[in-house]
Amino acid sequence: MVNPVIVAIDGPSGTGKSSTSKAVAAKLGLSYLDTGAQYRAITWWMLTNGVDVNDPVAVADSAGKPAIVSGSDPAAPAITVDGLDASGPIRSQEVTAAVSAVSAVPAVRARMVELQRAAADEAPEGIVVEGRDIGTTVFPAATVKIFLTASAEARAARRSSELKGAQSVAATQAALVRRDAADSGRTTSPLAKADDAVEVDTTELSLEQVVECVVTLVEEKRATIS
């Protein structure tokens, strides 16, 4: 019997967290959780329901209202809010602009951490969880902790490509820098590298190389605990 593992993959936007996490989960036969999508989902709900996302008290008062359900299949991750498919709407520019403010509210983070830990409990083989505070706050005892980094230029180019030219690389880079500052500077569960995390700079690496690195680390760790 293989002991369930928790693989925590943290890092700022544009470092390849999502692509890496999904590929690692698929290769190892593990469940997958995109915690960023959960924060986007609750932000989308707030915007849709007229909650002032810049009012921490109003956001906190509404944090427990939406029903957010995340899929665990790395090949087709899904997320619903109150039973509605939210996978498309949560990627809008409006949500992107507001998610850091909503994510900084302690009541929101407490609600999301509860959902994230429940997802791990429901993954018998183990789970790959991507986010910004997974190795430091959500799963401080994770089996393997990875912190992905990349140059600001590389991250902006990747994100701009994902947006299919909807925003210039320069504007994308400026937005990433602003979000990094907001996420790293928040009081509750800031974006940070865990002391025992393995840092992987993806600037010059292909996705396949990053995935192979993480898979190797997980398999080595698994061998010591099985």
Residue 182 lies in a domain: yes
Residue 74 predicted with pLDDT over 90: yes
Residue 220 lies in a domain: no
Q: How confident is the model at residue 226 (pLDDT cuts 50, 70, 90)?
A: low
Domain range enclosing 111 = 5-211
Residue 163 predicted with pLDDT over 70: no
Q: Are 17 and 64 in contact (CB under 8 A)?
A: no
The candidate with the shortest Cα–Cα distance to 123, out of 71, 174, 49, is: 71
Residue 67 lies in a domain: yes
Residue 223 lies in a domain: no
Structure tokens at 6: 């928790």
Rounded-to-integer distance, Cα 209 and Cα 128, Å: 17
pTM: 0.90
| Number of independent structural domains in the chain | 1
CATH for 173: 3.40.50.300
Residue 64 predicted with pLDDT over 80: yes
Mean pLDDT, the chain, rounded, equals 92
Residue 219 lies in a domain: no
* Buried/exposed code over 26-40 (b: 16+ C-beta within 10 A; e: otherwise): ebbebbbbbbbbbbb
147 strand-pairing partners: 10, 199
The candidate with the shortest Cα–Cα distance to 15, out of 223, 205, 182, 221, is: 205
Residue 61 lies in a domain: yes
Residue 225 lies in a domain: no
